[in-house]
Structure 1
């Protein structure tokens, strides 16, 4: 029997009592069934504390019955905002997420590996809904010869290295080379180029020390399509052009088939970006700086070549022609070839989601969890996905925000349509004791605030906003020492 009654059910019970006092208890079961439509709380477990997790949480909280528990595999929150965005680009979004995490109806539990410490099935039994927001963490590959050579790295891991992600802290990229090739024309690729050519003081100290001793002089940003198809934003490009002691090179011949009329017909953001690229191509008075970032278009890597020690030494490129088709611009290889020498090769061509449980269906073609409006295929009710795991990597946080809000609306609509099926669930009151019984050190948001304060103190000693702890054991130690 439910422990409370809604107004309508209470009225029904009183009327029953007055009319048929002797048979009161025969009416109570019917009252209890009716009350299932008016449960006090809807428990939602969110897996992943990055932008998708927090934006989805913010939208779900519009239903006053929703209580949210956010689970994160690291002891620290914020996902890509902490680990994937250049440190000098981290904005007030963290303040917004912090305000969300501090709400009474939200709890954060870090240092928990879903699939290892607790199963997806256990979560589904403990929550009315589980939302997978753990992103896309597997790199797409070029699938060309030489991709396994030494110093051929995913850009994601390079970003993780300078941003302090624990598993990438010992990456040690080879920086004693003058030439670096980055395959990809997205914001991540431009971030990597910017850090290689002029490292920000906000990055982790081990990375800053290595980059200050770097011999890198030239970074080649190589994309398979043209200037009109780049994925980076004008903000990223502008920052690249303003690097001290560095020229940004764009070749005029890449614009020979792009007319002023074509540019004027572009949507405003794309128009402004293309105009900036064109201005760089028309730049006659380069400063002859000792460092250069070269944007190369219509090039596809065909083979990565290594030296006798198994280290990358160059990359063979094929020159493409662009073909306009109904579903977009396609590329076709020509007979023309080029060779770029390099001692470090970064691959930045996108990401794929991974499965944390065999029951989660993945779309092999798109690299995302198979879903419709966020509802995971194969599950009648209760399992959803949001963010990059659901939509693929967008590269722009506002895209993640809008998509997460939209998926949250679909989830809330499902709650309304399935309200008779909703029952009270235990949520974290069942999961956390289970984790502690297995010896898992559960980190709360208050614990994270202690880590946050320590990192800021360490940073102030080095003249920077923060110095991140890059080892999970150190993070846990910082929590335990503060409590002692």
Structure 2
């Protein structure tokens, strides 16, 4: 019998468990650990609440989770409750699938001011992540600045712009919806260091901006390259740039008919957050693109604003005793191998790149490496205790372990508490989750 521990219950974790089932069938036991009492990681707290079709991928993970060979071990923190070293003694292989839950820092003066947030925190706030439920952003000002040119920046801009009616069918947190209903924002500036041909935004997400009830996207025609240059772009990026061109062609009177403007500010690099106690503005340097890189021109200007959300990427959280690459923000590894018997997968392995689906081949590839190492005798000769050994340890330490069937009770309570038209009202408090399953 093979015993595998997977740390992290997001896409990478469950694709790894699925791959292990296909590799060994009934001859494997996989325990999927998570510090929260609820599974699915990024699917639950990272995907935008108005993108329910993307969240539906969790149905696939549930089919894996409900097999007898796979067990969800929720409400267990790696480090405080059980160490990686202890898991290595109990399991043949330990796979880190913790994703990249921390924001990359801007690295500019003033980013510690009130009103400046990273996207992990801000998205976690409106997605009911327990760690960020008390974020309390001030939306009483006129202008918000969103830094970044990827889909997360679009998500944040869109969520800040929507009416209450446009959230119908979403699972946005009730506390966030109430704050957004009272928002006084009238301008959202999306700031990018480079130009339209270097964006990471996908056509679907950009197209959504054109259908917002009270917000209008604005692009300066002068920021767009010559149209003939679009022919050199890959098809998806070309479609995205076509959206930007359509935004630039929106007549001025249309902008005037909608109270919120989403302004794309290209060739603009943040240099400092301005303010005394809280953010009052952001100092920006005009750039130009040379050989694909943004180079400062020395021309600066300040955008007055009361809210800044930085969407420039994520990094994994280091685990004591596990080699970590601080520069790349991920675990130090050789194609997923960290140390003998210790592996990483998904964003923990490669950094925050790719889509949810990218984690499927990643999970299957790491299981192949585990199988190779087992066959070569590099992981010992079996006989490890696996989940039986962990259960004894959990009992000894009085850990309050949450199983997948426990999670289903939490899920039922969230569905029962949903406002009209919403699929669920997610608990934003761990203690409330535990009370619901008891």
Please indicate, yes or no, whether the TM-score normalized by the shorter chain is above 0.5. Answer: yes
Q: Summarize the alignment of residues 348-367 of structure 1 with structure 2, pairs less than 5 Å apart.
A: 348-357=311-320, 359-367=321-329
Q: Contact between 1:187 and 1:395, CA under 8 Å: does it hold in 2?
A: no
Deviation at 1:130, TM superposition (A): 0.3
- Give the counterpart of 1:255 among 224, 230, 233: 224
Counterpart in the other structure of 2:348: 389
Counterpart in the other structure of 1:438: 397
Counterpart in the other structure of 1:220: 189
Counterpart in the other structure of 2:161: 197
- The 3-state SS of whatever aligns with 1:172 is coil
C-alpha separation in 2, matches of 1:384 and 1:419: 13
Counterpart in the other structure of 1:135: 99
C-alpha separation in 2, matches of 1:234 and 1:395: 16
Counterpart in the other structure of 2:437: 479
1:181 is the counterpart of 2:145: yes
Q: Contact between 2:93 and 2:379, CA under 8 Å: does it hold in 1?
A: no
Deviation at 1:413, TM superposition (A): 2.9
C-alpha separation in 2, matches of 1:129 and 1:352: 24
C-alpha separation in 1, matches of 2:145 and 2:95: 38
Counterpart in the other structure of 1:332: 295
Gaps of 5+ in 2: none
- Cα deviation code 1:431-474 (max 9, x no counterpart): 12212322221000000000001100111x54411001111011
Counterpart in the other structure of 1:240: 209
C-alpha separation in 1, matches of 2:174 and 2:366: 38
C-alpha separation in 1, matches of 2:23 and 2:409: 31
Deviation at 1:287, TM superposition (A): 4.1
- Cα deviation code 1:287-311 (max 9, x no counterpart): 421111111111111111104xx11
C-alpha separation in 2, matches of 1:231 and 1:428: 42
C-alpha separation in 2, matches of 1:412 and 1:387: 18
Using the size of structure 2 for normalisation, the TM-score is 0.94
Counterpart in the other structure of 1:34: none
Counterpart in the other structure of 1:57: 17
Deviation at 1:169, TM superposition (A): 0.6
- Give the counterpart of 1:467 among 400, 421, 425: 425
C-alpha separation in 2, matches of 1:236 and 1:395: 16
- The 3-state SS of whatever aligns with 2:50 is helix
1:97 is the counterpart of 2:57: no
- The 3-state SS of whatever aligns with 2:23 is coil
Using the size of structure 1 for normalisation, the TM-score is 0.85
C-alpha separation in 1, matches of 2:377 and 2:301: 60
Q: Contact between 1:77 and 1:110, CA under 8 Å: does it hold in 2?
A: yes
1:275 is the counterpart of 2:239: no
C-alpha separation in 1, matches of 2:273 and 2:283: 6
Q: Contact between 2:341 and 2:379, CA under 8 Å: does it hold in 1?
A: no
Q: Summarize the alignment of residues 335-346 of structure 1 with structure 2, pairs less than 5 Å apart.
A: 335-346=298-309
C-alpha separation in 2, matches of 1:420 and 1:44: 12
Q: Contact between 2:268 and 2:284, CA under 8 Å: does it hold in 1?
A: yes
Q: Which protein has the larger Cα radius of gyration, Structure 1 or Structure 2?
A: 1
Counterpart in the other structure of 1:207: 176
- The 3-state SS of whatever aligns with 1:61 is helix
Q: Contact between 1:111 and 1:442, CA under 8 Å: does it hold in 2?
A: yes
- Give the counterpart of 2:200 among 231, 234, 239: 231
Equivalent residues, number? 427
1:456 is the counterpart of 2:415: yes
- The 3-state SS of whatever aligns with 2:22 is coil
1:157 is the counterpart of 2:116: no
- The 3-state SS of whatever aligns with 2:185 is coil
C-alpha separation in 1, matches of 2:143 and 2:176: 18
Deviation at 1:356, TM superposition (A): 1.8
Alignment RMSD = 1.6
Q: Summarize the alignment of residues 302-317 of structure 1 with structure 2, pairs less than 5 Å apart.
A: 302-307=271-276, 310-317=277-284
Gaps of 5+ in 1: 1-40
